[in-house]
Amino acid sequence: MEERGSTVAATDDPPLVNNLAIQLSSASGHRLETYVVQVPKDQIYRVPPPENARIVEEHRNRLPSPTKKTPWRKYLLWAAIILVVIGVIVGVSLTALYLSFTPKSPAFSITQLTVKNSSDDGPPKYNLALKVQNTNEKLGVQYGSTDEASLIYWKQTLATGSFPAMHQDAGNSTVIHLTLLGAEGRLPRDVEKSIGDKKPSHQISLGLKFNSPLVMNNWVLRMWTRNMDVTCTFRVSMMGAGSKVLSQNCQTKLS
C-alpha cells in the first residue's frame, strides 16, 4: 500500500507562517518522503551551543580592563611629584643661601674733618673720621692696608696717606681715622682762606678717594675676595677749627 505522506498542521496558528520543507534522502531503493512543518514566526528560538559561552569568557579574561590602571604608572606619577617638590625646596634653599652670602659693598660716610698746620711753614695734616658700616649680615670683612688714600680739591691733590687694615664682624659699624699729609707746594687760595677761617664763611667742596683689598669670610671659611674702590664728594662749612660736614655722597665699588 503506497503512502503519500503525513501532514502535521496547527489550525490555531496565525495566518502568516513559514513553511519549512525538509527533504530527507533515504537509502537507495526507498522512496523520498516529504514532511511539512508549520511553526509560528514569532515563536522561533535559537540557543547557542554551550562551548560558545566558554570561548567568549576566555576571550574576555584575556583582554585588560580599559578602566584599570597599571600600578607602575601610579608609582611613576608619585615619584615625579616627589622629585619636583624636592627640586623646588632645594632651589629655594640655594637661592636664599646665595643671597645671604653674596658680598655687599661696605658703606662709608665722613663724620669730621680737621686740619692741623705744621710749624716751619710745612704742609698741613688732614684728619678725617669715617664711619664704616658692614652691610653684610652673614659675612665678616677683613680690610687690607693701602697707601693710596688722597684728598682732592677740584683736580688738585691736597694730601695723601694710607687706609688702615682692620676687621669688621657681620653687620658691625665702626669709626676709623685717616691721617693724610699735605702735598708740597702752595695751597689753593680758597683752601688757605677756609683753613684760616674762624667762622664758617668760606664753605668748600672736597673729594676723598681710597681703595683696599677685602676678604669676606664666614667664621673661618674664606668665601670671597674683592678689591674695593671708594669715592666721596663732600662739602664742609670751613676747614678750620669747628668744621662741620654739610653734605656728602660716598660711592663704593667692588671688583
The total domain count for the chain is 2
Q: What would the 3-class secondary structure string for the chain be?
A: CCCCCCCECCCCCCCCEEEEEEEECCCCCCCCEEEEEEEEHHHCCCCCCHHHHHHHHHHHHHCCCCCCCCHHHHHHHHHHHHHHHHHHHHHHHHHHHHHHHCCCCCEEEEEEEEEECCCCCCCCEEEEEEEEECCCCCCEEEECCEEEEEEEECCEEEEEEEECCEEECCCCEEEEEEEEEECCCCCCHHHHHHHHCCCCCCCEEEEEEEEEEEEEEECCEEEEEEEEEEEEEEEECCCCCCCCEEEEEEEEEEC
**Per-residue model confidence (pLDDT) at position 39:** 62
Task: Please check whether residues 57 and 113 belong to one and the same domain.
Answer: no
Domain that residue 28 falls in: 17-61
In a domain, 86, yes or no: no
pTM of the model: 0.63
| pLDDT tens track for 107-164 | 999 999 999 876 567 789 999 999 999 999 889 999 999 999 999 999 899 999 999 9
Same domain, 50 and 165: no
How far apart are the C-alpha atoms of 226 and 178, rounded to whole Å? 21
What is the tens place of the pLDDT at every residue in 190-217? 998 888 877 777 889 999 999 999 998 8
pLDDT at 69: 55
- The domain that contains 140 carries what CATH number? 2.60.40
Q: Which residue has 683736580 as its cell numbers?
A: 155
Q: Tell whether 115 and 172 lie within a shared domain.
A: yes
Residue 189 pLDDT exceeds 50: yes
Last residue of a domain, one of 61, 81, 97: 61
Q: 43 and 149 share a domain?
A: no
